[in-house]
Structure 1
Amino acid sequence: MSANREIASLGEFRFECGESIPELDVAYETYGEFDGDNCVLVCHALTGSAHVAGSFREGSSDQASAWWEDIVGPGKAIDTAEYYVVCANVPGSCYGSSGPASENPETGEPYGPDFPPVTVGDWTRAQRALLDHLGVGRLHAVVGGSVGGMNALDWAARYPDDVRRVAPVAAAGRLDAQCLGLDAIARRAITTDPHWQGGEYYGGPEPDDGLALARQLGHMMYLSKASMERKFGRRSAGRDAHREAFPADPAADFFPYRDVESYLDYQARKFVDRFDANSYLYLTRAMDDYDLAAGYESDADALAAFAGEALLMSFTGDWHFTVAQSERLAEAFRATGEIAHHVVESDHGHDAFLVEPGKVGPPLADFLEDGLAGKSITDTEEDAEDHGDFAPVHASLFPR
């Protein structure tokens, strides 16, 4: 399956901060055929792109690997033989949509820190503008994982009449204090890199060391304690391994270079080759700022106008967005509408929604086809005893 890739120029766009840019470009991919009421919008996670599935086009600046290839495609959970699937890169990113690295048409130079601050609400509004451009009215469903799940929630609150079904996966109505703090440290790693230059680094050395550290911290947030122990343990990477991302300290040669260090260095090196440091600052700020209840009395109040169906999916080993956070969100949906909260037993941490398609796919496929009547869907109210009334899963990587 190959993706149809395009960039839509949507004209002047005013961000929620009040600032505008003269032309908003949104990079997007589409799959399948549109029949008027079969559109499924897929919202990507923090550093994802519009390349959710299908073959990779050489020369593209997007991720080489489709990030949800096992979920989106012909005969898969989000069946492109049945649905018209759209995935759009969010404003502020660096994968084709307007962001800090984009050219400011008024100066001919990259926007850099002059690009307006972006919010999850801006992502939703840009997606709505894109869908209008494509001739898509009401959506069959909006599906998203991680901060993409927050994006899906924002659709239910902001455009409740435009969506039949929403499926936030591994998401919550807001970040907790621990995740806010870790994101702050990641941003400090970038802004204290001497090459960051206040965000004006384009055309010169880039803050690769700071961005690499930020990415390494992100990976620590996405994995669970159990999955890290299983994958790495205390094993050494071997005598011939090299510290590839950062210079070693003077005593390093005496001590083993461990598998977990090698993994983090490898991930950091790959990431700085494909992502922009300013975009990382912008997107983490958007995620941190998101609060479903902002402007409302409660989450339930924010969702009160949504009359469709919702499926929440959470993972027992995810300490980034816990089962308890998802259950509180489910309670907000239950106050006014129809909801199922499907809890997946997994020790893969936050990455479970990406790496366990066999557990994610069946309930998602049934929900898209049959709504809450789908045979693979369960609600947490039925499973509360098994999950300890949804106590938070704190497989913390940071000992108390």
Structure 2
Amino acid sequence: MTSVESGTRSLGEFTFECGESIGDLEVAYEAYGDFEPQGEGSNAVLVCHALTGSQNVASEGVPGTSGQARAWWNDIVGPGKAIDTTKYYVVCANVPGSCYGSSGPPAENPKTGEPWGTDFPPVTVGDWTRAQRRLLDELGVGRLHAVVGGSAGGMNVLDWAVQYPDDVARIVPVAAAARLDAQCLALDAIARRAITSDDDWQGGDYYGAAKPTDGLALARQVGHVMYLSKTSMGERFGRRAAGRDAVRSFPADRAAGYFPYREVESYLDYQAEKFVDRFDPNSYLYLTRAMDDYDLSEGYEGDADALAAYEGEALLMSFTGDWHFTVAQSESLAEACREASVPVAHHVVGSDHGHDAFLVEPEKVGPPLRDFLADGLAGRAVHDTAEEADGDEETEFAPVHNSLFGG
């Protein structure tokens, strides 16, 4: 087992992009392995967690939070794994606004001794990046070997290339995009409305009282549907009714007794029940707003202009069944990299698992990631395919490996 450090660092006064400040920003983190400066760089790899993830990216015997937040990428990060903690010094920090130890709505406001609630300043992806930079300074880490992250964490990765283009040699945005499209913005808005419409939300001042669990549960169910593909839902649930022992999480509507309680409903209720036990409703509001607001090109003429100062390499990974962050969005981002003269590979993975593929299919994510971290774009698995995805040998992005479809 490699060495593991788990704790919270106080980073002093922090001014958010909204202009508001707090006197002492605390960031919870975990670090795995041993830090080794290497010339002008280091062996340090920053992993950026997804929307409701935590700093506990790999278990390695470290007590952590429950549910998916605990060891959420344990099949990717660890000794001998794609992000090898015997080779790299791996850091994952809980972002400001979350509820796993970093400053956020459920944390104590030192001026009042009560939870911040909605008095906590609005946060952005840019705030996440600057907080991570401050934490790494505290840990003695300068230039990073790589920054890796999926989903909202992939946006965080892109922001590193814009804010600190000289501080990272390689970036890996996984299942991410330069911005959310209108459909995903709409679904996030419905999820937030579910929380704020819950009578127990009380304008965000519910701490010490009943938590708005019904609203948070519905928000999670809306989000979870976005993470699955139509194919995977059809194969897993179809139209089948749930078993006799299935339990409804919510009061049934008047007509429910006549109609079947389906497996897909039971699954969503189960996921919601797990989620409300581990996550804070206000944090969900804050973090979805941060993700929705992110736009790589903000302040620039376009995506390529935003990436123009970055001189490292990029590996983009997308999944064919992901309609939350699509292959087309990743390819658009890859084209922006090419226009900005950023060396890039776009590795498309054939998968029916939807957006969750980057979490549940480590055997497909691991090889290209491992090779890219070790050898950059020269890594064999970054480009290794049995045949071109479209039959065109001039394809500019890493095509789909036919074995990913069982071939």
> TM range, normalised to the smaller chain?
over 0.9
C-alpha distance after superposition, 1:245-273 (max 9, x if no partner): 20111222222211111110011011010
Whichever residue aligns with residue 294 of structure 2, its letter is Y
2:280 maps to which of 276, 280, 297: 276
Q: Secondary structure at the match of 2:27?
A: strand
Alpha-carbon offset, residue 385 of structure 1 = 2.5
Query: Tell me, what secondary structure is at the counterpart of 2:364?
Result: helix
Taking only the aligned residue pairs, the percentage that are identical comes to 76
Aligned residues: 388
Q: 1:14 maps to what in 2?
A: 15
Please give the alpha-carbon distance, in whole angstroms, between the structure 1 residues aligned to 2:64 and 2:362: 28
Q: Distance in 2 between matches of 1:386 and 1:259?
A: 40
Q: 8 Å contact 1:3–1:54 — kept in the other structure?
A: no
Question: Tell me, which stretches of 5 or more residues in structure 1 are unaligned?
Answer: 391-400
5+ residue gaps, structure 2, are 398-407
Please give the alpha-carbon distance, in whole angstroms, between the structure 2 residues aligned to 1:140 and 1:56: 25
Q: Is the 8 A contact 1:167 1:310 kept in 2?
A: yes
Query: Which residue of 1 is the match for residue 225 of structure 2?
Result: 220
2:204 matches 1:199? yes
Give the equivalent residue in structure 2 for 1:25: 26
Distance in 2, matches of 1:368 and 1:389, equals 20
| Cα displacement (A) at 1:97 | 0.3
Q: Are 1:350 and 2:382 matched, yes or no?
A: no
CA-CA distance at 1:62 after TM superposition? 8.1
Which range moves more in the overlay, 370-379 or 224-233?
370-379
Structure 2: how far apart are the matches of 1:255 and 1:325? 40
The CA deviation at 1:239 is: 1.8
**Deviation digits for residues 180-239 of structure 1, max 9, x if unmatched?**
000000000001101111111111111110000000011100000000011111112112
Structure 1 residues 3 and 230, CA gap change in structure 2 (3 angstroms): farther
Q: Among 290, 295, 305, which residue is 2:294 paired with?
A: 290
Indicate conservation of the 8 Å contact 1:123/1:151, yes or no: yes
CA-to-partner distance for each residue in 1:55-114, whole Å, 9 max, x for gaps? 454575785631001000011000001000000000000000000000000110111010
The residue number in structure 1 matching 2:404 is none
Q: Counterpart of 1:397?
A: none
Cα distance in structure 1, aligned partners of 2:161 and 2:127: 14
- For 2:401, the equivalent position in structure 1 comes to none
Over the aligned positions, Cα root-mean-square deviation in angstroms equals 1.9
For residue 241 of structure 1, report the CA deviation from its aligned partner: 1.6
CA distance in 1, matches of 2:138, 2:391: 47
**Equivalent residue of 1:5, what SS?**
strand
CA distance in 2, matches of 1:61, 1:219: 18
Q: Which moved more, 1:233-242 or 1:65-74?
A: 233-242
Specify the SS of the correspondent of 1:260: helix
Matched, 1:109 2:114: yes
Matching of residue 42 in structure 1 with residue 19 in structure 2:
no
Distance 1:295 1:40 in 2: 28
Match of 1:127 in 2: 132
Summarize the alignment of residues 184-263 of structure 1 with structure 2, pairs less than 5 Å apart: 184-243=189-248, 245-263=249-267
Checking the alignment, whether the CA contact within 8 Å between 2:67 and 2:275 is kept in structure 1 is no
Report the Cα distance in structure 1 between the residues aligned to 2:369 and 2:229, rounded to whole angstroms.
23
8 A contact 1:140–1:163 mirrored in 2:
yes
What is the CA distance between 1:29 and its match in structure 2?
0.3
Deviations 1:121-174 (A, max 9, x none): 000000000000000000000000001000000000110000000000000000
- So what's the TM-score if we normalise by structure 2? 0.92
